[in-house]
Amino acid sequence: MKIKFFSSKPYDHEFFDQLNDRHTIIYLEAHLSEKTLALAEGVDIVCCFVNDTLNRSVLQGLYKHGVKMVALRCAGFNNVDVDAAKELGIKVCRVPEYSPHAVAEHTVGLILDLNRNIHRAYNRIRENDYSLHGLMGFDLTGKTVGVIGAGKIGKAFLEIMNGFGCNCLVSDPKPLPGVENLAKLVDLDTLLEESDIISLHCPLTNDTYHLINQQSLAKMKPGVMLINTSRGGLIDTKAVIDSLKAGTLGYLGLDVYEEESDLFFEDLSDQVIQDDIFARLTTFPNVVITGHQAFFTREALHKIATTTLNNIDALERGNLDEIALIE
Ligand code: NAI
């Protein structure tokens, strides 16, 4: 099959080329959007990532070009208008699970870094400043960790935090089986009120958009640590900045940002950042941001390439029941 691979990076080539000997893959650095739609002409499949645009108008364009399937090489699918794809008869598949551990472990990395100020200590040592003022952390043992969304990643994260001796709370309308052995299931308000650390692991949907806003922030303990490795739209960034300025939000760790598509995955080191909200976020000493890299392990990239190629093989054979379809 002929595939146009949008938003590609050298590491994508490495993992897909190792495993692919049967399909023609044309790698493109461009994001898929209304502006780049013409690049999808004459192919069976477009392979897309988290910041490609797959709204109704792009999907209509893909339909006109004869595209049969959108193969997402990620788990989240909030960037796809699933109803429009269904109406147009374009299949949409994804990689539902590649490494929950990759994301869970990165989440723990953000917590440890923020708590013990490792990012600040790293810079101090490079400047021959061996003082400890401002670097004091807290023991994780005995602290209450609230997890919003206990699916595959949330559960893997809970397993690690249990190992630290934390008391874990979960808010999830449908947690994975076994979560009840790792955490107490509570309603969202209880979680917000009782947690010392809150970590977001639910998908971005109409219901969860700006789940963390002025009202929910007001319910949290003063000094709380908030971590988001899920999707940027879960957080109202302006409200979070207000809480950081007021000192009520003690720490913020982000791997995702609502407007990340103009920033993340690119080297912008010689450019002036136009996003003033993001620029403000980077000024706080108690904020650590990584650029959507929680998934980025060798094991995860191998699984992403394997599952995506299996999805494409199954479409070619007409075995739709073997494809991880979004329905
Ligand atoms: P999953 O589908 O296994 O689990 C999601 C859980 O969230 C489910 O148990 C569901 O019941 C729960 N949920 C849904 N609505 C909720 C709500 N309103 N409140 C609380 N819980 C709710 O998904 P998985 O694999 O654990 O991934 C979670 C999210 O992580 C993805 O949707 C994606 O956005 C993000 N992700 C981020 C990556 C990164 O590199 N930063 C990589 C992979 C995923």
- Residue 202 CA to ligand 1 center (angstroms) comes to 3
Average pLDDT over residues 226-254: 98
Q: What percent of the chain has pLDDT over 70?
A: 100
Task: Determine the atom of ligand 1 nearest the C-alpha atom of 171.
Answer: 20
Q: 202 CB under 6 A from ligand 1?
A: yes
Q: 148 CB under 6 A from ligand 1?
A: yes
- Residue 152 CA to ligand 1 center (angstroms) comes to 8
Task: Determine the atom of ligand 1 nearest the C-alpha atom of 205.
Answer: 15
Q: 6 CB under 6 A from ligand 1?
A: no
pTM: 0.94
Whose alpha carbon is nearest atom 37 of ligand 1?
230
Q: pLDDT class for 327, splitting at 50, 70, 90?
A: confident
The answer to whether the CB of 47 falls within 8 A of the CB of 4 is yes
Q: How far apart are CA 41 and CA 172, in angstroms?
A: 42
Task: Give the DSSP H or E segment for 88.
Answer: helix 82-88
Q: Look at residues 295, 301, 296 and name the one whose alpha carbon lies nearest to residue 13.
A: 301
Task: Determine the atom of ligand 1 nearest the C-alpha atom of 175.
Answer: 9
Task: Give the DSSP H or E segment for 251.
Answer: strand 249-254
- By the 10 Å C-beta count (0-12 exposed, 13-18 middle, 19+ buried), 203 is classed as middle
Domains, the chain, with CATH or none:
2-98+298-322 (3.40.50.720), 100-289 (3.40.50.720)
Summary mean pLDDT of the chain: 97
- Does residue 295 carry a pLDDT above 90? yes
Q: How far apart are CA 279 and CA 283, in angstroms?
A: 7
Whose alpha carbon is nearest atom 2 of ligand 1?
151
pLDDT at 245: 98
What digits encode the pLDDT tens for the residues 176-225? 999 999 999 999 999 999 999 999 999 999 999 999 999 999 999 999 99
Q: Which of 106, 195, 201 to mutate to test the pocket of ligand 1 (most atoms within 8 A of CB)?
A: 201
Q: What is the DSSP pairing of strand 91-93 with strand 69-72?
A: parallel
- Residue 136 CA to ligand 1 center (angstroms) comes to 32
Q: What percent of the chain has pLDDT over 90?
A: 97
pLDDT at 30: 95
pLDDT at 176: 97
- Residue 286 CA to ligand 1 center (angstroms) comes to 25
pLDDT at 202: 98
Task: Determine the atom of ligand 1 nearest the C-alpha atom of 154.
Answer: 26
- By the 10 Å C-beta count (0-12 exposed, 13-18 middle, 19+ buried), 198 is classed as buried
- Residue 27 CA to ligand 1 center (angstroms) comes to 28
- Does residue 324 carry a pLDDT above 90? no
pLDDT at 172: 98
List the catalytic residues: 231, 260, 292
Q: 104 CB under 6 A from ligand 1?
A: no
Q: How far apart are CA 163 and CA 122, in angstroms?
A: 26
Q: 201 CB under 6 A from ligand 1?
A: yes
- Does residue 157 carry a pLDDT above 90? yes
Task: Determine the atom of ligand 1 nearest the C-alpha atom of 231.
Answer: 34
Q: How far apart are CA 129 and CA 109, in angstroms?
A: 24
What digits encode the pLDDT tens for the residues 68-112? 999 999 998 999 999 999 999 999 999 998 999 999 999 999 999
